[in-house]
Amino acid sequence: MNAPFSSATLDRQPYDVESIRKDFPILSKYVYGKPLVYLDNGASAQKPNAMLDAIRHAYADEYANVHRGLHFLSNAATQSFENARETVRRFLNAPTPEEIVFTRSATEAINLVSYGFEQEIAEGDEIVLTIMEHHSNLVPWHFLRERRGAKLVFVPVAEDGSVSLEDFAKAIGPRTKLVAVTHMSNVLGTVTPVKDICALARERNIPVLVDGSQGAVHLSVNVQEIGCDFYIFTGHKVYGPTGIGVLYGRRERLEQMRPFNGGGEMIVEVSEDKVTYNAPPHRFEAGTPPIVQAIGLAASLDYMLSIGRERIAAHEHELLTYATERLTAINSLRIYGNAPGKGAIISFDLEGIHSHDVAMVIDREGVAVRAGTHCAQPLLKRFGATSTCRASFGLYNTRAEVDSLAEALEKARRFFA
């Protein structure tokens, strides 16, 4: 569950990346006269025809609001929307679709859990995190620090980017109320031992939230096997649309949480002096939900499943290995994070050259990477970096694109020499 791939389960058929690339219209684009090399998948992935077609069909052929109408279109849209919830359940191997909550983003999903837990937090209670967390899994807990007096306890990261279970055991104490950890670092690619962390926390009846914004893309996820109480990911990184996130919540945890937003659909009855809330997941889906986004997300997940998640992960692992070799050979280039079993992300810098300058130069060669702090300032500070470039691979990337990245970086190095 924490390894990027399992060779024992790989399909014997060759991975036909060229056929896969034809499913993504934007990959035929040229930038500054050069073929687009899109290596910013960690920020947002490109979209397959299957998803684009599903969204068009939803708007053109069966659009209406859901759960409210008795007419044909509303029933059809409701069925497609709830089918999408079932697809997400299957993607995560959650026990029931009622444990899948649609939100507007992964960020909103984490904030939803933070808000739901706020009334359980007393001054001095602790929330355990790692220093690797994306700001979306840091700032909501800072809200509880500011409003409730909670204490944030950070598990350190080793020089190679790994985290140890022993450090988690030391961090979890009698005042720990929640553990919130990334499944896979968006900067280092480090895969966190979430199954072992959950087992450790469960011994003390401490809930665990796993931020799967990167993990859901690159790893096979089975929330029942992991044993987490919450698992969160976002649509646009799994080749789906923007405007939708997913919260898996263990049923008993969701039933204990108060609603995040108030409005239509999340209630059973409203009177002048009383409100009765709906059961999960609808309790947390106030107002018109992201209907078409959910349908598009389901199409993207089905697309990934049709290729095979283990096959995708093996392909990405091959690219990561090759890219590490190519980039390591470049003078004055430093790679951040080399933890065993890391996912398909490489963050790096060129000595003496700001990451923004590097990114702008290689963009002229058609190569798109991320440059900056990657919404992970505490982690970069731990490594003494102010910013880095990040190449993040997806199911459609190729070895030839890794070569293009390496050649563009050599040009950037010579340009600033």
| Residues with catalytic roles | 375
- For the record, the structure tokens of 214 come out as 């990167």
Query: Could you tell me which of 48, 59, 55 has the C-alpha nearest to residue 21?
Result: 48
3-state secondary structure of 197: helix
Rounded to whole angstroms, the Cα distance separating 215 from 237 reads 10
Q: Other C-beta atoms within 10 Å of 275: how many?
A: 12
Task: Decide: 157 and 132 in contact? Cβ < 8 Å.
Answer: yes
Going 48 to 220 to 134 to 191, the CA torsion angle's sign is negative
For residue 257, which of 232, 229, 233 has the smallest C-alpha distance? 229
Give strand ranges (E) for 195-242: 208-211, 230-234
- Residue 244 CA to residue 55 CA, distance in Å, equals 13
d(CA 367, CA 402): 10
Q: What is the rounded distance in angstroms from the CA atom of residue 355 to the CA atom of residue 361?
A: 10
Q: How far apart are CA 342 and CA 337, in angstroms?
A: 8
Closest CA to 155 of 147, 139, 140, 166: 166
Task: List Cβ neighbours of 374 (8 Å cut-off, separation of 6 or more).
Answer: 42, 134, 186, 187, 347, 380, 388, 390
Q: Give the containing element (helix H, strand E) for 88.
A: helix 72-92
Nearest partner of 172 among 138, 200, 137, 149, judged by Cα = 200
